[in-house]
């Protein structure tokens, strides 16, 4: 069964942050300009999330729960975030990753040297490589 993807509802923010925390992704620096798309099997169970920082043009916080991995949900979440970015008028998306470079390259992202982020991006907290692409 295909898990539907939708924009996170008002009041789901803490659940999304808890999901990110449970997968080991950074969550404390998520700002008010981040829109989350969620894949939910029902009203209670999140299968995956992805964030889109609309101010910075940053694709962030892609996480898929263990039971939903290997089913293409990560790619579907990235595509949904790209569609949201396109609808918002964004021309380019950026991301930072330490361990998913191959995944994002297979989605069409290109690695770039992350020495000086372009405004309005804040400097990364780590030396994670970054990547970018134009939303499809």
Q: What is the pLDDT of residues 53-64, one digit of tens each?
A: 988 899 999 999
CATH homologous superfamily of 5-133 = Gcn5-related N-acetyltransferase (GNAT) (3.40.630.30)
Q: What is the distance between the alpha carbons of residues 45 and 97, in angstroms, rounded to a whole number? A: 26
Q: What is the distance between the alpha carbons of residues 128 and 71, in angstroms, rounded to a whole number? A: 26
Burial 77-115 (b: 16+ CB within 10 A, else e): bbbbbbebbeeeebeebbbbbeebbeebeebebeeeebe
The domain ranges of the chain are 5-133
Q: What is the pLDDT of residues 7-57, one digit of tens each?
A: 998 889 899 999 999 998 888 888 887 899 999 887 778 999 999 998 889
């Amino acid at each position: 069964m295909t898990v539907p993807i939708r924009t996170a509802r008002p009041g789901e923010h803490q659940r999304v942050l808890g999901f990110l925390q449970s997968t080991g992704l950074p969550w404390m620096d998520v700002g008010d300009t981040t829109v989350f798309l969620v894949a939910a099997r029902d009203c209670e169970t999140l299968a995956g999330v992805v964030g889109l920082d609309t101010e910075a043009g940053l694709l962030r916080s892609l996480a898929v729960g263990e039971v939903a991995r290997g089913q293409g949900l990560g790619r579907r979440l990235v595509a949904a975030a790209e569609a949201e970015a396109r609808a918002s008028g964004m021309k380019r998306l950026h991301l930072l990753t330490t361990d998913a470079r191959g995944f994002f390259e297979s989605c069409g992202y290109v690695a770039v040297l992350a020495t000086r982020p372009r405004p309005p991006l804040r400097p990364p907290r780590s030396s994670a490589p970054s990547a970018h692409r134009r939303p499809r």
